[in-house]
Structure 1
Amino acid sequence: MTTTPTDRGVGPLLRAWREQRRVSQLELALRADSSARHISFIETGRSRPSEDMVLRLAEHLEVPVRERNALLLAAGYAPRYSQTPLDDPAMDAVRAGMERLIQGYEPYPAIVVDAMYNVQAANRGILMLLEDIPEQLLAPPLNAMRLTLHPEGLAPRIRNLREWRGHLLAQMERQIALHRSEPLRQLYEEVAAYPVPEEDPSEEPAEPVPYFALPMLIEHEGRTLSFISSISTFNTPMDVTVAELAIETLLPADPATVKYLQSLMP
């Protein structure tokens, strides 16, 4: 669940993050150049940490940027990180940079999503995969997880759906553990409940192909395309919005996929 400031101060919040990360007071003290005694005093409220100490502990506990603001507020300090809407003029450079990046990746698919997997930008490679998807699934806010796993979305076209679905759900579980976000958990419960087609026992298993990472095998125009996913984020973000953006690129996993995509988009 998302962290909120409490009347008890920052101590219980820091202890909760430390326990979730499975770090002892001594280990955290060593990382933060402090002492286990001081960490204990902070967690029990006997000592009020400095603003720098709150940020240092949050850094070593890998607390998401959004939640660092909550820790600062609970400790009596002003939030350090802004949350600028992506369509704000101040974000023009970030937005333009991401657009150039994903457009430059064409003809291969690339997409930008936020912490809730809502699509913020997509290139023509992605739009190609979304051809003939029902309009109700394409209505804003466009959500990448719903589009992929919904039985009227891409799911029927993904030949290794069970494997790919398992990968996506595990990815969401890791994000929930990291961010403790209730809206993200609700999205997870929704998409995890989508029906999965029964396997056809009469269908012969495909010949194994030596991939170096789990591919997404998806049908398009009578062909099976193969992609490996790569996700990039911003280093040392100083804004909540930027911290929660992720750029996913789908790298062709075989020569046939490369040849086909290049034939579509010179």
Structure 2
Amino acid sequence: MGAATVVEGRSAPVGALLRQWRERRGLSQLALSVEAEISTRHLSFVETGRATPSREMVLRLAEHLDVPLRDRNRLLLSAGYAPVYSHAPLDSPELRRVLDAVRRVLRAHEPYPAVAVDRLWNLVAGNAALPLLTEGVAAHLLRPPVNALRLTLHPEGMAPRIVNLAEWRDHLLGRLRRHLGLTADPELTALHEELRGYPGGSADPDAELPRAGDVVVPLRLRRPGGEISFLSTVSTFGTPLDVTVEELSIESFFPADEVTSVYLRDAGR
């Protein structure tokens, strides 16, 4: 295999791909060469195609550029080397322990809601408290693959119940843009454009956004008789060596006040 190969329908030399990642990270050739402990001259030769990097050099540069594992495999292929990171389906025997661990984490978070999603925010698993968030959404949004962002912001999804819709929408779109900045994933780009087209004004014209005293963006939902409010955290695997595992994340929702805490405990019973 030569120094360039077809990757997902396009051919690109490894040097050009590395330059794209360097520019995406806002690094000069000098800065990257210092971090990776190589000469600026050699890096320049690699980027222009005058030198073919070794397998170890590709991996070293990818590490310092914080390139996702999926794209590290693409860089290796483009340089003429075999991928080194596995990419097993989540339901494969190789990842059974990972999926079991994810499900245990989700169950342990009950009676509070929690979900696991993939790189496109498609739902991988959810715990028994998830229906408390998705109550009343249109059936077509719950047909697999269920996209968590679409489910949240679609006008037939959770959006009508979100008191601080404008604030929560800005929060989610901001997270999505940050992922785009890291990955430049075309599927995420298309999702971002779709979500931007949804109505995003405040669901309550009298809502105070943000409320006095808020230090994080809460998710505030209407329910019969009042409002419940959540804070959320996102967890990922710390030492992934598989593409699928690296792209998994768990979002856990916690009650933001005592009213919500009581409501969730009562609902869990």
Match of 2:27 in 1: 23
Over 3 Å counting, the alpha-carbon distance change for 1:186 and 1:8 in structure 2 is closer
Moved more, 214-223 or 246-255: 214-223
Over 3 Å counting, the alpha-carbon distance change for 1:207 and 1:229 in structure 2 is closer
Q: In structure 1, how many angstroms separate the alpha carbons of the residues matched to 2:239 and 2:118?
A: 17
Relative contact order, CA 8 A, sep 6+: which one is greater? 1
For the Cα contact (< 8 Å) 1:86–1:95, is it kept in 2?
yes
User: Which of 174, 180, 185 lines up with 1:176 in the alignment?
Assistant: 180
Shift of 1:236: 2.6
Moved more, 226-235 or 160-169: 226-235
Match of 1:86 in 2: 90
Shift of 1:197: 4.7
Match of 1:148 in 2: 152
Q: In structure 2, how many angstroms separate the alpha carbons of the residues matched to 1:142 and 1:71?
A: 30
Shift of 1:205: 4.3
**Secondary structure in 1 matching 2:30:** helix
* Mapped pair 1:109 → 2:113: yes
The 5-angstrom pairing of residues 183-198 of structure 1 reads 183-197=187-201
Over 3 Å counting, the alpha-carbon distance change for 1:18 and 1:220 in structure 2 is same
Shift of 1:207: 9.3
For the Cα contact (< 8 Å) 1:108–1:125, is it kept in 2?
yes
The 5-angstrom pairing of residues 202-221 of structure 1 reads 203=206, 205=208, 208-221=211-224
Aligned length: 263
For the Cα contact (< 8 Å) 2:164–2:202, is it kept in 1?
no
Q: In structure 2, how many angstroms separate the alpha carbons of the residues matched to 1:141 and 1:207?
A: 33
**Secondary structure in 1 matching 2:96:** helix
* Mapped pair 1:95 → 2:115: no
Shift of 1:155: 0.4
The letter for the 2-side match of 1:91 is L
- List 4+ stretches of structure 1 deviating above 6 A: none
* Mapped pair 1:237 → 2:236: no
* Mapped pair 1:70 → 2:84: no
Moved more, 188-197 or 16-25: 188-197
**Secondary structure in 2 matching 1:124:** coil
* Mapped pair 1:11 → 2:5: no
Match of 2:3 in 1: none
Shift of 1:229: 1.5
Match of 1:165 in 2: 169
Q: CA RMSD in A?
A: 1.9
Shift of 1:154: 0.5
Shift of 1:217: 0.7
For the Cα contact (< 8 Å) 1:25–1:36, is it kept in 2?
yes
TM-score relative to the length of structure 1: 0.93
Shift of 1:223: 2.5
Shift of 1:153: 0.7
Q: In structure 1, how many angstroms separate the alpha carbons of the residues matched to 2:202 and 2:117?
A: 30
Q: In structure 2, how many angstroms separate the alpha carbons of the residues matched to 1:19 and 1:119?
A: 32
For the Cα contact (< 8 Å) 1:228–1:252, is it kept in 2?
yes
Shift of 1:191: 1.3
For the Cα contact (< 8 Å) 1:149–1:165, is it kept in 2?
yes
Shift of 1:199: 6.5
Match of 1:257 in 2: 260
Shift of 1:198: 6.3
Shift of 1:254: 1.3
**Secondary structure in 1 matching 2:129:** helix
Q: Deviations over 1:132-180 (max 9, x none)?
A: 2221111111110111001111001010000100010111111112111
TM-score relative to the length of structure 2: 0.92
Q: Percent identity?
A: 48
